[in-house]
Structure 1
Amino acid sequence: MASVKVKFRPSTIEGKEGTIYYQIIQNRVIRQLKTDYRIFTDEWNEAGSCIFVGRSERSNLLLSLQERMEWDLKRLDMIIHQLDNRKSTYTANDIIVAFQNRVDEQSFFNFMQGIIKQLELLNKIRTSETYTAALNSFMKFRYGQDILLCEIDSDMMMLYEAWLKSKEICPNTVSFYMRILRAVYNRAVEKELIEQKYPFRHVYTGIDKTVKRAVPLKVIKYIKELDLTLKPHLDYARDMFLFSFYTRGMSFVDMAYLRKSDLKNGILTYRRKKTSRQLTVKWEKCMGEIVNKYESYSDMQYLLPIITRCTDERIQYRNAISRVNIALKEIARLVGLAHPLSMYCARHAWASIAKSKNIPLAVISEGMGHDSEETTRIYLASLDTNVVDKANGLILKDL
């Protein structure tokens, strides 16, 4: 196995900084790997082969150089370990070449950022955004300090999970981040950058049963009848919520990209962003009332006033969904709802109300554009406890 030593070469000119380099030895052949780290002779600890930081004016610089050296040595150890695992002969020069050419691949942050860029190039914008959110969370946990791919282990992931829980992040979000990081880690394994150590085996990567977000039809009526004349931001949010409900729980992203050309001969045709499945909806009077209310935006190609400029469309959509969901929480308080209201509740509500009217599951699934009835079941609210209590009473009555 190759070995690495840190060396210091003093300058031949008195009072000038010397340079730090790495001595790499493999099969008794010695090669030097140069660095751009420069220090004075009295800042070098020969016995410990490290920088003497001290309390000089240069202490911050020296501490930074020491951290960079430690990072370099970790990377070199990782490269040597990988070359040893391949069980083929290699030279000291091979180690140097790998070190110089594979900086991004060995850093977890950089490796994941590379995957995010690939997703963006493939136009998988939503997926790239979720990967970015997971990376940002992990970077906060690490206080911005990068980590090598080979340093991702079960202890690290358990610490990250504990950190997320301390921030009161819900279990499903914790699991969501873990699954994304696991996918990135497995990609590195596939590329043979690291060996599989199963670092996620002790953290939660399942999906908890969530609290149902459906609201009954009477609440939808309360929301519809609210007088929001003096609160235009709430009025707008209410209109977007109702439009989603009217159109069988259309998702906000699909609403945002509806074009006027999608409405022809009383039929609204659109393709779901999530699944690319094409759906058609019969145009109803209540839908037209909302669209007509915002005729001032008729110069735009879009049907609804969500995207109002031709630039930064994705940013406009994200800002709009954020504003609408905040406003819907205020609407929830106005109608006395015990739980928060969001655009997603409209989708859940349509499915649950359809179920309560004994509409077949297959029809509900088709109406929502699901690929399977199993997906639809997730949306359906549990039976009213009063119904269950009455059923139990009938059973006990016969005792």
Structure 2
Amino acid sequence: MAKAKIKFRASSVGMKEGTLYYQVIHNRVARQIHTTYRLYPSEWDAVSSSIVLPSSSTSGRYSYLLSLQETLEADRKKLLLVIARLDKEAQPYTSDKVVEYFREGKVLHGIIGYTVELNDKLRKIGKRRMADRFTTTINSLRNYLKGNDVPLEDVDGTMVLGYEQWLKERGLCRNTTSFYIRNLRTIYNHAVEEKLVVSSSPFKHVYTGIDKTVKRALPLDIIKQLKDLDLSLNPRMDFARDMFLFSFYTRGMSFIDMAQLTPSNLQGGMLTYRRQKTSQQLHIKWVEPMQKIVAKYQTDDSPYLLPIATGEGALFWKRYKNAYKRITNQLKKIGEMMGLSIPLTTYVARHSWASAAKSKNVAISTISEGLGHDSEKTTRIYLSSLDTSVVDRANNLIINSL
């Protein structure tokens, strides 16, 4: 196996800047890859082959050296991936071939590096939530790999099983573990579609299903108690409660869809919006409780119906995430204050609306349409984790008749 090192060549003129270069050694033959990276002798530690950063971040060289340090680390990983690819081909190669592949960018893609590139593409086409899910997954995988990357071709059944076991050992439930594995599978399939790797079906023996979740719905009497709470002395709790109620009033509208509503979505007494998750267009009759909440928080300087986040592009998303965390935290406190048996979250509003509709004997097809599901099958799966009191009562009648 070839080895790659970073070396420093001092200037022949006194204490002037020297240059860095990479040395590739294979079968005792050494080759060099020259760079334009320049350093003073005092900025290089030959023992650890690393840059010596100034003790103070205010130093004029600090930013340059920090950036160069990141560049060297990226190049180092690139060289290691080149060597990994050549080793995997199981054919004789030379140090010249390593240099050639490095210069031409013929690198075996790493799963983490590939995901970073994929996320950039997803964000450019507006799929930020998918990119966020992939980022969460790849950060977890990076921890499992102890900060390293592995070639896509090394993502096999053994590695995936090891990652799944690592997740379980951290006390994650099956659904959370499955969430990470499913995202990793989607990333891998993207790479297969781009012909960056030949699929070896590495996800055959890991769990990628979704267990039935515990009940996350509140009965209508609890929703009414929540609505009647006097939170006037705590504006943050008051706002969080109102956002929960707005979601409930609008048939469980997701928080991101609420954040992006503008006056243009409200026309002729009808609220029309497109779900970000599915792109399905939904129409909701505008009623007084919705208007009260909007009027309560209406501001002249915001283009949005609700003051959840402002701005556009990356700024909007940053503010949205911060708002989501704040509201989630306040809802949790409200739930604890009310003594609820389940954590109060924005998603509970969606479950509660579906459960309330079911308790009122609303047809599954109508509930499905209200939730914006693609099929009644999805709605039946969704409802299966909600209120089972009707079935329980039926079972009691049967047992009591014996």
Band of TM-score, shorter chain:
0.7 to 0.9
Q: 1: CA distance between counterparts of 2:276 and 2:170?
A: 32
Asked if residue 227 in structure 1 is aligned to residue 230 in structure 2, the reply is yes
**Which stretch of structure 1 is more off in the superposition, 322-331 or 311-320?**
311-320
**Which stretch of structure 1 is more off in the superposition, 269-278 or 283-292?**
269-278
Matched letter for residue 34 of structure 1? Q
Give the aligned partner of residue 176 of structure 2.
173
Give the aligned partner of residue 119 of structure 2.
116
Matched letter for residue 323 of structure 1? R
Q: 2: CA distance between counterparts of 1:19 and 1:252?
A: 50
Matched letter for residue 364 of structure 1? I
| Distance 1:254-1:318 versus aligned 2 partners, 3 A rule | same
Give the aligned partner of residue 61 of structure 1.
49
Give the aligned partner of residue 316 of structure 2.
313
| Distance 1:154-1:59 versus aligned 2 partners, 3 A rule | farther
**Which stretch of structure 1 is more off in the superposition, 337-346 or 115-124?**
115-124
Q: 2: CA distance between counterparts of 1:191 and 1:34?
A: 32
Asked if residue 205 in structure 1 is aligned to residue 205 in structure 2, the reply is no
Q: 2: CA distance between counterparts of 1:393 and 1:293?
A: 47
Give the aligned partner of residue 45 of structure 1.
none
Give the aligned partner of residue 42 of structure 1.
none
Secondary structure in 2 matching 1:22: strand
CA contact (8 A) 1:212 1:381 kept: no
Asked if residue 79 in structure 1 is aligned to residue 66 in structure 2, the reply is no
Give the aligned partner of residue 21 of structure 1.
24
Q: 2: CA distance between counterparts of 1:272 and 1:138?
A: 30
**Which stretch of structure 1 is more off in the superposition, 310-319 or 322-331?**
310-319
Asked if residue 196 in structure 1 is aligned to residue 203 in structure 2, the reply is no
RMSD: 3.8
Give the aligned partner of residue 333 of structure 2.
330
Secondary structure in 2 matching 1:207: coil
Question: For residues 112-191 of structure 1, what are the structure 2 equivalents within 5 Å?
Answer: 112-191=115-194
| Distance 1:74-1:391 versus aligned 2 partners, 3 A rule | closer
| Distance 1:397-1:156 versus aligned 2 partners, 3 A rule | closer
CA contact (8 A) 1:5 1:24 kept: no
The offset of 1:132, in angstroms, is 1.0
The partner residue of 1:370 within 361, 369, 373 is: 373
Secondary structure in 1 matching 2:48: helix
Cα-to-partner distance string for 1:350-377 (whole Å, 9 max, x where unaligned): 1111111111111111122221112222
CA contact (8 A) 1:75 1:148 kept: no
| Distance 1:24-1:123 versus aligned 2 partners, 3 A rule | farther
Matched letter for residue 257 of structure 1? Q
Q: What is the TM-score with the length of structure 1 in the denominator?
A: 0.79
CA contact (8 A) 1:82 1:193 kept: no
Matched letter for residue 82 of structure 2? R
Cα-to-partner distance string for 1:199-234 (whole Å, 9 max, x where unaligned): 333322222221131111011001001111111111
**Which stretch of structure 1 is more off in the superposition, 235-244 or 125-134?**
125-134
| Distance 1:145-1:269 versus aligned 2 partners, 3 A rule | same
Give the aligned partner of residue 241 of structure 2.
238
Give the aligned partner of residue 260 of structure 1.
263
Give the aligned partner of residue 304 of structure 2.
302
**Which stretch of structure 1 is more off in the superposition, 382-391 or 171-180?**
382-391
CA contact (8 A) 2:78 2:107 kept: no
Q: 2: CA distance between counterparts of 1:308 and 1:103?
A: 43
Matched letter for residue 306 of structure 2? L
| Distance 1:355-1:178 versus aligned 2 partners, 3 A rule | same
The offset of 1:183, in angstroms, is 2.6
CA contact (8 A) 2:257 2:275 kept: yes
Aligned length: 365
The offset of 1:119, in angstroms, is 1.0
Q: 1: CA distance between counterparts of 2:78 and 2:309?
A: 46
Q: Tell me, which stretches of 5 or more residues in structure 2 are unaligned? A: 10-17, 36-44, 51-68
Q: 2: CA distance between counterparts of 1:267 and 1:304?
A: 16
Give the number of the structure whose alpha-carbon radius of gyration is greater. Answer: 1
Asked if residue 391 in structure 1 is aligned to residue 389 in structure 2, the reply is no
Give the aligned partner of residue 32 of structure 2.
34
CA contact (8 A) 1:79 1:99 kept: no
CA contact (8 A) 1:104 1:111 kept: no
The offset of 1:286, in angstroms, is 0.8
Q: What is the TM-score with the length of structure 2 in the denominator?
A: 0.78
Secondary structure in 1 matching 2:49: helix
**Which stretch of structure 1 is more off in the superposition, 213-222 or 269-278?**
269-278
CA contact (8 A) 2:144 2:166 kept: yes
The offset of 1:169, in angstroms, is 2.4
Q: Tell me, which stretches of 5 or more residues in structure 1 are unaligned? A: 26-30, 38-56
Secondary structure in 1 matching 2:246: helix
CA contact (8 A) 2:81 2:107 kept: no
Asked if residue 277 in structure 1 is aligned to residue 284 in structure 2, the reply is no
